[in-house]
Amino acid sequence: MSDPFHPESVYCPSCGGRLAQRQSGPLPCHSCGRILYADPKLAVAAIIPLDGGIALVQRAIEPGLGKWSFPSGYVNRWEFPERAVEREALEESGLVVSANWVVGIYSTEGSPVVLCVYHAEARGGALIAGEETLASRIFPVDDLPAMAFEHDRRIVADWIEGLRLRGQTV
């Protein structure tokens, strides 16, 4: 099982031996017998309502280079997902936010990434381009630009439904 997102999944971290090649389940080491699991990587994203729209960032890195998406990134080891989404929003958009409620959890078959999307309230900062973004802008939800990921429009629809269930509007 060669996974470009986790090259360490080919070799045992204990002895350096080759792991069994499997698509799912435990990965036994052929040399020392240690059992490893190819666990998913948790990422977070923030939908940030601002000035009648939502704040989006134009990606400066692959995947989705040049397209728009929500401020997002990976959760670091020992980091709470809520703090990770607040950190990523600041790094990518310049906005200080508070994670409010979970919009949804998304995954794609064959991808090691599980994405947890939060509704986040802007508390300060200024909308700017961060280190991994080319630009940041506010877009009306009914006039979104070319989005980076297939599930982005579904996430917006889920967010709008979450607002409706809470008696709120965009």
Q: What is the pTM of this model?
A: 0.82
What pLDDT, in 10s, does the model give residues 24-72?
Answer: 677 888 888 888 777 778 999 999 999 999 999 999 998 899 999 999 9
Q: Which CATH number fits domain 41-165: 3.40.50.1100, 3.30.70.260, 3.90.79.10, 3.40.50.10800?
A: 3.90.79.10
> How many Å apart are CA 139 and CA 164, to the nearest integer?
19
Q: Which residue has the tokens 């031996």?
A: 17
| Cα separations in angstroms, 57 against 64, 105, 127, 133 | 11, 20, 9, 6
End-to-end CA distance of the chain: 44
| Cα separations in angstroms, 97 against 26, 67, 82, 140, 150 | 38, 23, 10, 19, 25
Please report, as a single letter, which amino acid is at residue 131.
Answer: E
pLDDT of residue 111: 80
Three-state DSSP state, 168: coil
Dmax over CA atoms of the chain, in Å, equals 59
Q: Where are the domains of the chain?
A: 1-38, 41-165
